[in-house]
Each structure stands twice: as C-alpha cells, then as structure tokens.
Structure 1
Amino acid sequence: MNDVVNNQKEKYKDWVTENLGEKTGVWYAPYLEKLGQLLEKFGLAIGYKGNFFEYQSYSEFKDIYQQMTEQNDEDIEKFVMGRGTPHYPEKFGTTRIQFRQNYAEDEYNRGVRSKPDNLGGIPDWGVLIRSYLIFLYYAENPTLIYPKKEKKIANQEDEIDKGVNYWLISPGENSRLWEQFHNDNVIAIGWDYLGDIKNYSLKEAVERRISEQRADGVRPVHDTKAVWDFYSDIKIGDIIYVKEGIKKILARGVVTGDYYFDYEASEYKHRRTVKWLQVGKWELHQTFAQKTLTCLNNYPNFIQEIDKVMNEDFIDPKIAEVNEFQTWLSNQITDTGASLNDKTVKQKVNALKEIERHFEAAIFGESDIEQLKLLKDIVLSDDSYKKYKGVSGSSIDYYIRFIESKPTVQENENFTMDDFLSAVFIDKKELVRLISLLENKKNLILKGAPGVGKTFIAKRLAYVMMEEKDETRIHMVQFHQSYSYEDFIEGFRPKAEGDGFELKQGPFVKFARKAARDPERDYFFVIDEINRGNMSKIFGELMMLIEADKRGEQINLLYSNEKFSVPSNLYIIGMMNTADRSLALLDYALRRRFSFFEIKPAFQNETFKLYVNELNNPDVLKRIIDEIKTLNNQIVEELGTGFQIGHSYFVGDAYKVDATNRVEEVIEYEIIPQLFEYWFDDEQKVNHWAERLRGCYDGEK
C-alpha cells in the first residue's frame, strides 16, 4: 500500500472512531481495504478498485456509492448530515445479506471461523461504504461538524450495524407457530381481522379498528405499535430474532421481502419473507418482555449478547454487567442537561474496578443495596486509599441507582378482564371507563366510603392494564400527615448508623427511573390515603411533571439538582377515603391533574350476589345486607354518599368458614363503632340501628 492510500486509511480510522463509535474505525478499516477484491470474489460486484481507500474524493466515491446502492441524492444528504439512516432498495438489501454470508463461509473454509453460519463481527457492506462516504464529505469540509459526535461509548466490544434494525418476535403463544414460520421462511403476526394494512392510511385508523374489536376500554397502544412497526418499520435487510418465553432465542434471520397480507393463511396473515441464518435454541443471561414485536436498536448490548450466545462465544457475566452499566451511565443527564462525557464515564467505571481490586469486594453484579452503601462508607473512611478517591463515592452512588432502576422481567400469571370482573365487584362498563380515564389522564383517584375495596381495585386495575400479575411494576405507598417531599422525592436523611446525613432518593423517583428504563411496559405507582398528606408539599416541583401532556419534560430536583422527568408509561393511582372528616379537600391545582372515580357499595353487583349465595350459610348475610342497604339510604340522606357502609366488610376467607360468626364480629366491632363516629351527637339513632343489625343474626345463635 502506497503512502497516500495508507495515510487515507489512518485518517479514516481516526475520524470514524471519533464520530461513529469507539473501535469502529479499527473494525471497519480492514474490510474497506479489501472490499473490492471481496465483492469480486463473492460474485457480488466487479469493476471496482480492490482497496476502497484508493478512492480519495467525495464526488468520485459518491458516484461509486450510488452505482452500488441506487440511493438518490436526497437520501444521501440525510445520512451525511446525520438526519437519519435511510434504508436501501430491495436489490441492494439482498446483496448485503449475501456479503456477510459469503464472508462467513469463506472464513469457515479457511479454518478461521468455527461455523459457516456464524456471522458475528462481520460488518454490513452498506454500513462500510456509507461510513467511508461520510468520512470523505467531512474531510473535504473541515469546518463542518458531524452532528452525532457523542455516545461513542454506548457499544463496548463491537459496534452493531446501524444500517439495519434488529427485531425480536414471538411466533404465537408459547411459540406454537415456530415450526410453520421456519418451514415457510416467514415471520407473521396476528390481528387478522384488520385485513391488509395497506388499506389504512394512518396508524390511528389501525388503533380505532383494534379498539372496536377489543371493546374492553383498553387503549391498544402496544398492539397498534406492533402492527404498524411490522407493516411500516421493518425493512428488507433487517435482522429478526425469534424468541421463546423470556430468555430463549430460537432463530436468527434476515428479512427478504416487503409486507403482505396472506389471504390463504388460516391465521397470522400479516407476513414477511425471511431467510433463516441460524436455527436452534439458545438461553440468554438477560431477559426480555413478553411482547409480540420489539425493536432492539436501543439495546446494543442485548443484541451483542444474543449474537455471542448464538455463535457460542463465552460471555463473562461480569463483563456483561460492566458493559450494561457503562451504557446506562453514558445516558445519564447532569444538572446542565448534558449527558456524562466519555471521560467521566470511563473514570467512574475504572473507579469501581479499582475499589473491587483494592478492597477485594464485589460491586459489579452485587444487587444488595445495603451492602453497596456499606462498602461506600468503608471506601470513603479509609484515609490510606487515595486512587480515584474523589469519584469513588459518586461512582458507587451511580451504580446503586443503576441497580435500583433495573427492570425485572419474569414469567407471570396472565390477568384478563374476565379475571378482574370475577374478583372485583364492579360492572364491565365501569371497568372500561376506569381504564379509559387512567390511560388518557395518566393520574386517577379512586374515592369512596370505607370498605368499598379501593385498594383491592387499584392493584387489579394495574394487573388488567398490564395483562399480567407483575408485582415488580407496581409500587405502593401510604400518605399521612407527616409525609413530606423528602420522603417521597428526595432529601437528606440520617445514616443508618447515625453518623451524619446522606441524600436519599424517595420511592417515586426510584420507581419513575425504573419505568423510564423499560418504556415498552406500563408501571403503576399506587398511593393509599392520598388526601391524608399535604399534596402540594409532597409533590413539590413534580406537580407539573405528572400532567399527561408534560410527561417526559425535565426539571432539576430540589436537593440533588439532577435532571428528572416522569415517563409516559408511569400511571399514578390514588385512593381517597371520603368519610374522614379530618381530611382537607385537595387543592384545585392538584385536583385538575387527576381524574376522580367514585367507588360505591356493590351490594347490587351480580358477582357479589353470586359470592354470597356460594357461602355455606348465606341467609344471615343476606338479611344483614338488606339492612345495610336501608342504613345506607339514611346515611346518604343525612351525611352524603361518601359515608356509606361498603361491601368489603362482608368479603373474606373467614366468611367461607363461618359466615354467621364472622358477620357478628364485623357488625359489633367494626360497623357499629363506625356509626357512633358518624352520629356522635345522636346516640339514640346509633342504638336503634345497632339493634336492627343485631336482630339479623341473634336468632341464629
């Protein structure tokens, strides 16, 4: 190689590494150096220079690029200016696939690669020539700055090819259609009643049709996204991984055809053709959500793990954890609104590694928060430890936050609308309305008298919207008169050992950050007795951020001054006891940020009646309920609807064992004392109702 060409290669390596990703220049350069020879050897293209670094000018190479890709000037301008990555035409998409396959087979035949279908580490042909075209443009325009000059640290071992999208797809429930997908060389999704998606001009039209079909009040955001992504966003040349459950991969393929609706298929009629590159069964270290279709482009470490596992490369769990933390750290926002720079990220990671070495203690992979806090105190109190002393404490704090905000994915029991209606004594129409209110407003308060099941309903409302019983995505707190901003958001709190104070994140900030790391799934923050606290004081500057149209906007927190936002996939459900006279009304500023839904006694609900009839001795309870309904009429007339006696007083396992004994306990020790509170100035009235209620079971003793 002459000096001019070699010098061009070195300049390319430096520029690409600086602007397109760490190690990218070193990775791409050897392929560009022999790309012309390889294309001719594989029968993919002829007539080009063997070493692409011999092309020295932007205009010359742009002509070459367009000959190969058939991309127009407008598309080229977009990616050169950093405004997106246009996908290639179908013909070039096919040859790009062939390039990687041929290269892998060639290395296998030469004994370099263990398997002919192991494509790990081979860059995409289109990505290679695109990177060189971008380099030439900025080399000839040195006053311009490539706009993606950031986030170089996000990918650790190798860069993923950014010219394609990476998708994770489920082949039907419990992977039941995988054999068909494999044999027919297709991927497919359901929602067949939609018909050909080409007939829909807008995504919103698809959502309306799915809503009509479901008729359950749940806004089908995730379903609509899956359908529309499958139709419009998957492109020829994209990589497809087929999953089973939450940890297994069944295959890796490449999309070879456009979307089509298969009228002849019996089910899963929305289809695309695929060429399967690897088929088997591989178990991953990480887990993924139980969704039909997921784009993995925002999770480069996950893509790398899949490819490594499929190519039987050893994955060190600790290295995987370090890489994941480093990626997370590079996305953290400082009080200036900027991300942590590469130097700071590396410094913090190295500080943690040095602490592990010096103190012979585990950090990466450690999930015990208290153990990490104890280690932090040991490090900071050790005067003999000097290296990275200035960043040791903050580095451990960042790692603690990383662990606390790490989503948990596990296989859970499904939870449907029918499951909800069989357990909760409200009608389907009311449930549909509840779901709609929460989805549109993001914040909902369930108000009602004692014993109407507000807390029980809140949790199951979260279940039905998640469509599974996932406790890891529900967090519950209870407000009280002394609850504060420092308890809820963040504040300085005494250390456990009593030596000074430390800044601690509150449960809302921790949970919101966890939800933000898992945007594909919904999270629910449940607040019991929400009107017992001083809401304006507790929420502070977050009062604005919880509004539906303010989700995602950032502000600086009061104590840490860190940027914080409330993600759109976090829903807030509050419960409000309307019978407690000691509570102040919510202020108007907070009230307009919530929808309010009154939960009423469900004595007339058919499911509740069925529950009563199935008890071993329902007659006593029926008489009591009839009397309670009459009592409630007087309560409503004199005190208001919020003071009624709720149905939850008469629900529980104890009724299934001995309904008569349990109903006596509830009347004597719960309801009658409550009536004395209601009519504290009219003891005669309370005694009258007490005798009426006792009369319902006295004769049964």
Structure 2
Amino acid sequence: MDDHVIEEIKKTCDKLLTDKKLLPLEQLNQGYNIFKEKFSPERLKSLDGELLIDTIFNIGNKDGLSYWLEFKNDDEFKTNSNSYGSISGGSSYKFIMFKRSSDGKWVTGNPQNPTILSVDEAVELGRKIRDALVAGANLIDKLSDDASIEDYIKLQEQLSNTLVYNMQNLGWVHKYYHILYPNKIDAFHSTRWQVHALICCNIKPVQDDKLYTMSGQLMQIIKKTGLPTSYVMNSMCVLFGPPVNYFRIGTGDNGNSYWEDMKSNSYVGIGWAKLGNLTSYDESKSIKEDIAQELKKLYGYDNNVASRKAGEIIKFYRNIEIGDVVVAALGEKVLGIGKVIGNYEYVKDRPYSHCRNVEWVKIFKEPVHLPKASTGKLTACFQYRDIDNIFEIRRLMSEEIDEIKIEPILKPLTGTVAEIEGVLARKKQVILYGPPGTGKTYYAEKACSEFAARSLFHKPYDSLSQNEKALILGDSTTNGYVRMCCFHPSYGYEDFIEGIKPRVVNNQTVFELKDGIFKRICKDAMENSDKKFYLIIDEINRGDISRIFGELITLIEVGKRGKEVILPFSNESFKVPDNVYIVGTMNTADRSIALLDVALRRRFGFIELMPDYSLFDGVVFEGLPLAEWLKELNSRICENLGKDARNLQIGHSYFLEKEKPIIDNEKFKRIIKEDIIPLIEEYCYGDYELISNILGGSIVDVKNQTIRYELFDTPDISDLVTALLSPCPDIRIGVETTNDDVADEDNDSEDNQNNSEES
C-alpha cells in the first residue's frame, strides 16, 4: 500500500467530520465505554439462569446485548449510524439462539430446521456460548497493541479452537470484540467488506475467509492513518463504495470473436439469442428449469449441459449488478476490464443479444493473463471468487499499463428514457403520470440529465466527470442546463414567469420585479441557442395551470415556439425558444388526467408509469416474496377502491433505496408501517372494513378501528410477514430463500464445462 491511499483516507475523513457525518470523538468513545460497562466479559461471566439468556440472546430486550449490537440507536449508543459497524440483515438465527416474539419460546437451529428449547436447555446453551465469548475476549485482550500479521493468524487459530458453534465467523461476535477492543479489531464485520477494503488499498488478503486475520491487516492500515478505527472504516466506505462482484464474460464462440463490437459499443453480452428477451421468464416459478427446457428444444443440449448453461444465463441476467466489474476474455486472454453501468437489455440485432452496458476502464493493446487464467474459461458468464484473480483484476484496473484509450460510444436510448426522448422530439413537452411511487420524478431527472449530457458532451451522463455533471445540474452559484421546480396550490404566475416581489433594504421593505424560473431558463436558452435546456415541473397537476402559465400556455406549443407576446408586468417582449423542453410529473392518486386543464392536455404528450414488479425478483422477507406480495396488494386495491383504483396502486419506489431493492428487515418493516399503511388509510377514508379487505384481517383490528401496531414492535418480522400474507398465503415461499443468498454455480470444474456456446 502506498502513502497515496493513506492520504485519501485522511482527506475523506476530514470532509466527513466537516460535514458532521461522523460522530464526534467524545460521543464515539462514550458509546464504547457505556457498552463495555454493560456487557464486559466480567459482567457476562457473572450472569446465570434466565437473566443470562435474557441479557445476551433476547432481541426483544432493549437492554440486552443482541439488541444493542443490531438495533440500539439513540444518544446513548448509535449503532445505526454505522459508527461501530453494521450487522443488519439476515434473521435472528445468526445469534445462535433467540427468544421468539410470537410465543416467547427459545429457538436455535436455522430457518429450515428450527429447534425449540426448554428454559433449562436454553440456559445450558447460553452458558456454552457465553463461556466461549468470554474466552475469546481474553485471547484478544492478551494481543499486544503492535501485533504482527503472524500474531493475528495465530489469534485466528486460537479463536477457531476456542469458540463454539462457528462463532469465529459470526458478525455479531466480531462486533462485540471490536467494541471491547477498537484498537485491535476492525469495524467491518463481514469478510466481504474486509476483502473489499484491503484490495482497494492494494493489499492482498492473507486469508480471505478469516475475519480476525484480515482484522490484523486492516489494523495496520488504520494505525498508519493515526485515526480512530471507526473513522477509518466510514471513510473507506465513502472512498471505496460498497463491495462489488467480479465476472468473466466470454467474447466469442465457435471461432468467432465479438470483442470489437463489445469494445466499440461499450457493452458485454452473451449468446442464446433464440431465447428472446429474458424478462419474459420473470413470471416463472422455476426460471432455471424453464430456460433449460428451451435450451434443449432450441439448441439440442442434453439435460446436464442445458442445466449448466441455464445457470450461466441466469447469472448474467440476475446476478450482475450496476457497479460490478466485468472482465472481457477470450479463452485465457483478458482483453478489457469494465464497470457495469446498465441493467439487462435484449438487443435483437447484436451478435450477443443479451447485453449490459459497461464503461471500459482498461482496453489492453496486448492481451494480459490472470494468475489462474483457465478459471471459468469455458463459460459464458463466470463469477470470480478466487482472491488471486480478484486482486490482479483490481491491480490491472489501477495500474498504468499499455492500453487503448477509447471514447464512450453513444448507444441508442432504451426503455422509458427513450420513450421520453421520442415524445419531446415530437411535442417538446411531456408529462409522466402514474400512481404514487412509480418513479416519475426519478425518470424525469434521469432522462433530462442524460439528454443534456449527450447534447453538451456527446457522452452518457454516467461517464461524465463531477465538473461536467455540475455544469448540467448547476450549483449554488450557477444555473444548469437541467432545472427543476415544484407546483403547489399557492404557486403562481409571479413564481413561474415574473412578478412583483418584496425585499428588505436597509430595514425597509421595497418591491421589485423578479423573473420566474421559466422566464430565466428561456432567456438563457435564447442566449445559447445551440444548446438544449430542460425544465422539470414536479407535481404539475397540483398547481393552477391557467394562472401559472397565463398567456404562455399558447407559446409552449411546437408550432407557436418563437412567437412573441408582451408580458404584463415588465412590458417586455417574450417568446419560448425551440431549445427549451419541459418534463412534468403528476401523481394520479391526486388527480386524474381527465381533470387537467384542456389547453395543457393538448400541448403535452403523456407517458404512464406503473408499478414495476420485476425489480424485486429474488427479494424475500422471511418467506414473503416482495414482487408477488406487492402485485397481490395492488390487485386488492383495484378490487376494493372503485373506478379510480388503478391510479391508487402502490409503486415500486417505496421499496427502493439508491435505485436498489431494500433487503433489510427493519427498513421493510418501517416502510410498511410509515408509508404503505397510512397511504391505504387515506385511500379508504378511515373505513377499517375496507382497509381490512386490502391489508388483511391479521393487520387490521376492525372491531377496535385500529392497526395492530404490536406486529411492528419486535425485531423478528415473522409474525408481521404471516399477517401480511394472510390474504394471499399461497405466495409464501420456503424460508430457506433469503436476501443474502447468492447463487453459487461457479464450482463446476472445467472438465464438465464443455459444449459451451462461448469461450
């Protein structure tokens, strides 16, 4: 690791402190000290009987260890601020034993094979775990402050021999030890995060599956910075981003190479075009089996090959995510390395029709080789898990080596953004409409930013530098090419076009003429007639359109652009130039299109956005499949809320965070409680019989006219899930499926990966 990385970590930490995104050191240390007082090894050792298991393993006990480690978040101890590292996600089984909220029983085992314990059995198990936890703490306590990597390897071996029930691999145990010994144990409580942090620091993990060995390597970095462990961890999270996966993508088959097309058009792809668009399989209950059957029919594969190739296809379609790293390879040769910047697309006229857009980080003049070059070479899509190859990929991405510099190629737009582009080209203004949470504002911003980037820089928005993005979006001192306003009942002509506004000068109120946002953007567009300007009007239907647009409602029409009118306040001549485009959004739950101003309707194009259930494929909460459950919920809304019900459906955006589905149980619970239920209560005007028809009788207490909020009061969500599924129990799936599962089909040896369509 060079000093440059250390300096970048320090700079990032300084900015986080300036922006008040890190706990002040005094508060951070106070949290460590309070935790140690409550849950020190000595304190745990003194406990026995039901007090022991209630203190350590009862997640519902807000004064207990497991609750503090995962959920405690107040001025006393802010675990949810990520100051001490996160262990969120998964189920309560990760604590080895827990008290089930539904019946107060002590449970151990796993979701597939739970075991109910008597109190005596729970106490006996609790003692074993407690004794091991204390013994492990004593080992770490003896570790010197300047311990070497060899010392940490030895510690890992000692903990493996001392701890029981695989505790040396459990995140909550690692977090417990970190809080006790923050100068010896790091605050990344999973090997995935540890590996990511190390390789981003150009350090190869010594043992990439050992929490405490990698703690030693991370502590060496932390000590070089001179900063608290918590500060370094949070700075790394910001600096390096979340962990990513690494995939090898084949670029040829049967002697043909499609690398030049992939390189020139900035994508990676796989074959089997005859399957058609893979989204057509989204409704399938057994997607792998269905694709395998099609492969046998279309390509003549036997059962084994069809199953294996179906796994590769699904991996490309479902497992690769935006931000992941792809290695374009032909046999053992690495031709280029890129970052995924787009979701799956089916492009029929490409040689490899199943595609993902990428930003090429490296294009090599001469092919290079990975340490284990033959790994996955006979597969179309293969996930690298071997640390030697992953470390070399990161090195190649960052090192100055002989490479070809290529400009990003502007690929045709697709999907909703392409549809918006088409309507703007025809009418110059469009309204995106649909139920709440269907991504209307998201698509408005995404589309306008993309259009401006292509117009100004001839590049996709995602490939722009921060300075280029700032030119498009503007900042506190400069207006950008994409601007935004939000209509509301009190928004008027004077805000949008021009008006008399008060201002205080020398303690005196004076009135002066001010230009509104639309007049300003039109002026800027006239001064820069070779550039395109975009105005996003959020919630356009909430304003009084006739009053806001006034006489300009005529001038925005395509055939009337460039015609002049005299403005009433300034007496200035004004026109709407051709290079101004308007994108509005409207929530149809507030007001249907039919109620919009007729003059406005005629001058705008309209694009409907509805809930997109495909975003949640594979997202499951304790047996509740999010996609199917949301679809069923919307179906009941449509059945119960009359002719306007289609406009009242629940959109997918409620369950997205940073454009990705939420997978955390607590977040899911909060969204249901704080967003979904209040929205449905509003739709039903307090009619609890109607609310019960939609949400289910297990959530709604019709007799007492209330929601059963006690279902939300415990960390365990199994009772809540059962209640949510009560109107549609048939969609429940096996609890063995979790959001942490990653399909691992990469263990096929090369000997049985023949008959590949690509290599």
TM-score normalised by length of structure 2: 0.34
TM-score normalised by length of structure 1: 0.36
Question: Higher relative CO (CA 8 A, sep ≥ 6), structure 1 or 2?
Answer: 2
- Larger Rg, first or second structure (1 or 2): 1
